Structure 1
Amino acid sequence: MKKPLIGAFSALLLAGATTLAAALPASAKAPAVTVDFAGTVALSDCSGSLVRMPNSAAGDPALVLTNGHCLETGMPAAGEVITDQPSSRSFTLLSSTGGRLGTLRATKVVYSTMTDTDVTLYQLNTSYASIKSRYGISPLTMSTAHPVAGAAIKVVSGYWKKTYSCNIDGFVYRLKEGDWTWKDSVRYTPSCNTIGGTSGSPVVDTSTGQLVAVNNTGNEDGESCTVDNPCEVDENGNVAVRQGINYAEETYFIPSCFAAGNRLDLTLPGCTLPKP
């Protein structure tokens, strides 16, 4: 996984891989929307984004999305789900060009897990409307549609203030790394060569501008199923190792677990997030 950074040396050790995807025919391409750093945040050791559900209201408490393995209290164990945990973590809100606009602060961890997926969602002490009024920044909207193979995407790292451009190469039935297993993961084409510190970066579909996944890992050394060296497992149990290839976890199913007011409700029909 793209572990949180501890100095520049760790960043080099955690380097992943980037790809140049085969271009779609010009006639098949949707016009690309502008994808920049607006809506992204930098954590102390990871990347993240200010996000909204499709039904979120301007007055709702704002949410920040990053990886489960970026949780400040330590990586959740396999099978562990954390909800409603107090937090005062701070986030640096970025402008469209990557400049520092101000500091946002959490009140709690709404949800965090590394089981089936790799996500942490924080609730902030302010609303979307207040952030928009003060900083002119709107959140990224989380798509409710499964991402599509071949789609052009950008991985936007608030930590490094760097954007990676590639395509979705395909999907992985099971992605195993150490003790953790993730389902239906996104595989990038090689030009998204994400590194340590890009953990938690939003993966944005350039045809819609919506968030479709959260960047989380890559196979660095060619090892199989070890930490920093995830392996792909298909429906028949066959294992494949793709050294230098990076991955993300889908997010389309997350909005189904949020009720009005950005309130997490894991009992909602259609909610498939792992439960405590």
Structure 2
Amino acid sequence: MRLRRAFSLGVAALTAAAGVLAGTATPAQADVAVTLANTIALSNCSASLVRFPTSVSTDSAMMLTNGHCYEGGFIAAGRVLQNVSSTRSGTLLNSSGGALGTVRANRVLYATMTGNDVTLYRLNTTFAALSSSYGATPLTLSAAHPVAGTSIAIPSSYWKEIWSCSIDGFVPTLRESTWTWKDSVRYDAGCDTIGGTSGSPIVSTVTGEVIGINNTGNEDGASCTLNNPCEVSSTGVITVLKGRSYGQQTYWFTTCVNSSRTIDLTVTGCLLTKP
């Protein structure tokens, strides 16, 4: 998983990180200019300020990151968290990666590492207040399943860099240690994300909307182990692609939002994993 691991990131990843910090990462080049604006740097992961398509300015702002970036540690397989108190804080960034200020969560709206790998926080302020204070504009979660071949950018608030590539395809089941994720996004070889990029939004450079969240990659070529996810086909065939990176889809959230603009797992067609 692509969180920052102080002791297990590895020499190769540290070397890659040095290259990224030196500016060798491929810049985002596409129809929509993707920057670091509205991303949020966490202590060991990346995150972003997001909204549902139906959100309004007076709603409580939301912060999106991975389930494995949850402050309580990795979430056990099969477990779902809802409406749990939180004090998680992060640094809201501007377009060039400069710090605008600290944002703080007061609740975990939803988190899991089963089926998907997401944590969605409610912040202790509104979208309108963040706009007034910092000029912040949340990224919109797309309501549509992404399409193979779409040009994407992955802005990491942790590294203050942007990876650019495209969607190579989708994996029926992605397995890593005890966790499995469904309909995962496989990037082309250009998105060799590293530790610390966990939780970065996957932004379509066609629409500017968030179509997924970066979460893992196969580091050593091992099969189905921690930091070495394997692809499992619909017939159970296991494939290992050393060096390839993956993300999880986020339109699932929009299938579970009710008329009050809150997550309701009983909504017909809701795709998020239930407790």
TM-score (norm 2): 0.92
1:230 aligned partner: 229
Cα deviation for residue 109 of structure 1 reads 0.7
- Preserved contact between residue 2 and residue 14 of structure 1 (Cα < 8 Å): no
Segment of structure 1 superposing worse, 266-275 or 84-93: 266-275
SS of aligned partner of 2:255: helix
Structure 2 residues without counterparts, runs of 5 or longer? 17-29
Cα deviation for residue 6 of structure 1 reads 4.1
Cα deviation for residue 38 of structure 1 reads 1.0
C-alpha separation between the residues in 1 aligned to 2:222 and 2:5?
A: 23
- Preserved contact between residue 216 and residue 245 of structure 2 (Cα < 8 Å): yes
The aligned length equals: 263
* Aligned ranges 1:135-150 → 2 under 5 Å: 135-150=134-149
Query: Is 1:15–2:34 an aligned residue pair?
Result: no
One-letter identity of the residue aligned with 1:47: S
1:42 aligned partner: 41
C-alpha separation between the residues in 2 aligned to 1:211 and 1:115?
A: 20
One-letter identity of the residue aligned with 1:157: S
- Preserved contact between residue 15 and residue 193 of structure 1 (Cα < 8 Å): no
* Aligned ranges 1:125-274 → 2 under 5 Å: 125-274=124-273
- Preserved contact between residue 221 and residue 244 of structure 1 (Cα < 8 Å): yes
2:60 aligned partner: 61
Counting aligned pairs with the same residue, the percent is: 55
Q: Cα deviations across residues 156-207 of structure 1 (Å, max 9, x unaligned)?
A: 1000101000010000010000000000000000111110110000000001
Cα deviation for residue 15 of structure 1 reads 3.2
Q: Cα deviations across residues 24-51 of structure 1 (Å, max 9, x unaligned)?
A: xxxxxxx611110111110110001000
Query: More relative contact order in 1 or in 2 (CA 8 Å, sep 6+)?
Result: 1
1:2 aligned partner: 2
C-alpha separation between the residues in 2 aligned to 1:172 and 1:14?
A: 26
* Aligned ranges 1:24-43 → 2 under 5 Å: 32-43=31-42
Cα deviation for residue 11 of structure 1 reads 3.8
C-alpha separation between the residues in 2 aligned to 1:14 and 1:106?
A: 34
One-letter identity of the residue aligned with 2:2: K
* Aligned ranges 1:97-116 → 2 under 5 Å: 97-116=96-115
